[in-house]
Structure 1
Amino acid sequence: MNIKDIIRKAKIDFSDFTDNYLKGGKTSVITAIVSLVITFAVCLVVFFASVQGAEKVLVPDVVGETLTDALLKMQEKELYPKIQLKYSDFPGDKGTILEQNPKAGSIVKAYRRVTLTVSRGIAIDYIEDYVGKNADEVRNSLDLLFSGAESLVVVAPFVYVKDESAPGTIIAQYPEAGTSIAEKVKVQFVVSSGTEIEKIEMPKIEGLNIEQLLSAMAEHKIVVDLDVKEDDSAPAKGKVGDVEKTKDEVEAYTRVKAILEVKPRQEKDEMVQGIFSCTLTDYPFPVPYVLTAKDPEGKTAVLISANHPGKNFTAPYNVKKGTTLILSVMGNETAKVVVE
């Protein structure tokens, strides 16, 4: 068989194939076009249903509500809040809704955003001059202005002193007027008790250990001037020995002398007892102080926080060897020592 015969036998009859395609191809084309038209129509129906079919709702009135309550009401109506923060001119409204857009009563489609303006509180960035004002009124005003969990101003318990001013009048303050409120501030007021001298009942401190003595000094308005005495028979936590005799009732911040008995120091001891002492300014009124202890591992603890009139300062301690004791007066570090 020659090559021509092979080609002739392998030849395909394209004329029959073309005829069959033309007869059935029209149906395929029509089917494809119809499918495209139906698909496009379905897409249009879905699109317009999503645009026009959203349920219409009534915008609730949330002005004056807390943010939490307002968000719940928005959720019930299937509305999405957009939060904006704004300082207010009114005390005590921090965290409440000042404005809303759209306004209450508007008819809108569900899932729309509603802009809620939330109060950040009053924009006060410095301490005012309160000297000469009534202490209770000032405290109430500050408590109202800076209410809330993130209050930047805290009013410390008043320190009362004898003064010619009317009882309850602020005669001094710390920090001073004009101090910036960049972070949390503790405000201390010195208040006139009138011409009468404040009296307190003298607590019994003899026999107390170091921790108990620190607690008594913080709780009662007394100043204990301590001297230390080493004694092998002293308890591990120390003990107050001889105490100067005083009247049962004394003036506030009366000084009383006492002896602190501690065991002699040994090289192997991990804990050390003794007295932290320094000389302070002679203040015109008792000022706040804090004595803290930072142990060798970096852990910090407050040993005592109270008020002191100044001059000679003493406080007992029972801490780990290598601990750093830091005394801060009116927020400023005044003295520091490492216990060895």
Structure 2
Amino acid sequence: MNNFSYTKACDIGQAVDLINGNAGHKIVAGGTNILDLLKYFVTEAETIVDINTIEELSSLTEHAEGGIRLGALMTNADTAYHPVIEQQYPLLSKAILAGASAQIRNMATNGGNLLQKTRCYYFYDPAVPCNKRLPGSGCPAKEGHNRIHAILGHSENCIAVFPSDMCVALAALDAVVQISGPDGNREIQFADFHRLPGDTPEIDNNLKQGEVIIGIDLPAETFSDHYSYLKLRDRSSYSFALVSVATAFTLENELIKEVRIALGGVSHKPWRIKEAEQFLAGKTPSEENFAQAADIILQGASAFKHNEFKIGLAKKAIIRNAAMALHPESQRPGAKPSL
């Protein structure tokens, strides 16, 4: 870990001023990712700016017209167990609780969750090339051990995946990211927040220099009746998804009125294809229809030497999770989903 200075920001404006114009000044909140990056020399910092004393970013607020705002400094644990989230946005609660460990969720913040880096082993090893860490150096994952890597949206420059569980649910719920920066406040639709690698895999999101996440807005539509989050991984805890699926429905006259499906563990960002959701609207919630929707979602998927299994796994996960979403009670231990 390199030597760095430490300072605290007392308010949002001061935080923006401290990081604006200097890429070596980095925000720390929960510290569950940035400290690892510093310890392993994946990144360096001249100054760490602690924003934990900005109390206005640490709470959940409900909008008069419906919907809520999650403060960027709320911890993942406080968010998942908040009564409003458990009752009105259970999909988000389940996704958060599928991630990391209880100890990490107690520290990790909502804003930090959006900004976490890939867990690609090549990215975390400064002894090998990596286009995300050092642009133009190459992507050894393409010819190396790539079991955990992308099957959708990858490029010649990078096949890493985004690791968040929380963000898969936020993508499905059409969240909006609230940002403060040197030019004032703005918002980014969640679908536009993270980026595919393309020719610039070192740029993970569309934040501008000096901008800070201050909150995450969830719309009034909660999908609290029919929802499910399915995470398929090598271990039952403290393991990142090989494939994850967030699914939510509203039904009318036993037909699908609206549906949301987002995938994790398969791309550089949460993967959501609205054409698949449009295909399902107005149709019977059947295995056949879910399978066709899965084919639309996975159109163009391409694998590498060690992760071809992910394509078939993703299709089965989409179908299974749709059945689970129709019957949330099926998510209890020992229960079996049924269509």
Give me the TM-score of the superposition, normalised by structure 2.
Answer: 0.24
User: Which structure's relative contact order is higher, taking Cα pairs within 8 Å and 6+ residues apart?
Assistant: 2
Q: Which has the higher strand share?
A: 1
Q: Which has the higher helix share?
A: 2
User: For the pair shown, which has the larger CA radius of gyration, 1 or 2?
Assistant: 1
